[in-house]
Amino acid sequence: MLLEPIIASHFRSDGGNMFGPVPRGIWQRHIGPDENNTIPQVAHAVLVTMPDGSRGLIEVGCGSPEKYSPKQLRFTQLGEGWPLIDALAERGISTGDIDFVILTHLHWDHIGGAILPDGSLTFPNAIHYVDLDEMVLAESGSPLLGSAYPPEDVAALAASGKLRRLLHRSLPKSAPPITEIRPGIRLLRTGGHTEFHGVVLFEGTDEHPIEIAYPHAPPGTIRRVLFAADMVPTRFHLRLLFHTGYDTYPMDTRRWKQHWLPLMTRDDTLLMFGHDATAFGARLKEGVRGPEVRDLWEVGDG
């Protein structure tokens, strides 16, 4: 299995929302806000090439700027162009060459890239995988959710004929539900950021470790990679109480980090962030305040 990180979108978010309960006086030491209190963000994606030659994408970012109103573009400062499509083209890959897409959840910056401005699928031949309950929630139109889910994109995905809703098995809290999508690729339900948010776990073997198609990834043999999406959006969200203000179940986010981050320090899992503007991921070590970065995998290394 070959993994290649890609920046799908560039945009900005309110710094206070990205750090939730953490005071600005603390989080701005890590990321300096502009005069509007916004900080740089990217939407990370992962291009996956399977041993049989099939290709998939983990996440697809915000999509084309043409989808958004002038007001939305001013608010998000979504960059010009479409970095995801450009990155695929640079690799000689067309949108029709993608066989599967995995979405961790259905917020605008994760589902937007799946749907073109005309409402059709960006990746017309791909099976799109999402948690069944996340899809039900996104389709519910509940006023409690505000504008968390873009209704047009959710409806277009539901009507596409290319959606597979993953039904998780019921397991105890200590063993989160897991669904295998391809050999060695599983979607784990976490809750936290949304009620049914998921992360993607890649697992190789001693004989067939995971390959990373990017210069200067953390050294050594890579057997496990976890794409954390919005459970750990940046390297600065490793601390237990550092989570976004968008999290609908923040205590579940904390419980997940309390359980999973120490495990990743012990089994050498490569953690990939969902939105860090300058780093794709890191390996972790135990620090005085809990898990912290051991080997940082910077975007600029490419």
Query: Cβ–Cβ contacts within 10 Å for residue 250, how many?
Result: 17
| pLDDT value, residue 300 | 81
DSSP calls for 143-171 = GGGTTSS-HHHHHHHHTSS-EEEE-PPP-
Q: How many domains does the chain have?
A: 1
Q: Render pLDDT for 244-294 as a digit per residue (tens, 0 to 9).
A: 999 999 999 999 999 999 999 998 899 999 999 999 999 999 999 899 999
Window from 113-117, 191-195, 296-300 with minimum mean pLDDT: 296-300
* pLDDT over 90, % of the chain: 87
Longest dimension (CA), the chain: 52
Q: Render pLDDT for 26-60 as a digit per residue (tens, 0 to 9).
A: 999 999 999 999 999 999 999 999 999 999 999 99
Determine the Cα angle at 131 with ends 175 and 121, to 5°.
Answer: 150
Q: Cα 98 vs. chain centroid, distance in angstroms?
A: 18
Q: Which among 107, 286, 104, 264 is positioned nearest to 197, based on CA atoms?
A: 104
Q: Render pLDDT for 119-155 as a digit per residue (tens, 0 to 9).
A: 999 999 999 999 999 999 999 999 999 999 999 999 9
Query: What confidence tier does 209 reach under pLDDT thresholds 50, 70, 90?
Result: confident
Q: 3-state class of 185 per DSSP?
A: strand
Query: Cβ–Cβ contacts within 10 Å for residue 296, how many?
Result: 15
Task: Please give the structure tokens belonging to residue 152.
Answer: 């047009």
CATH of the domain at 168: 3.60.15.10
Residue 71 parent element (H or E): helix 70-76
Answer whether residue 73 shows pLDDT above 70.
yes
Answer whether residue 167 shows pLDDT above 90.
no
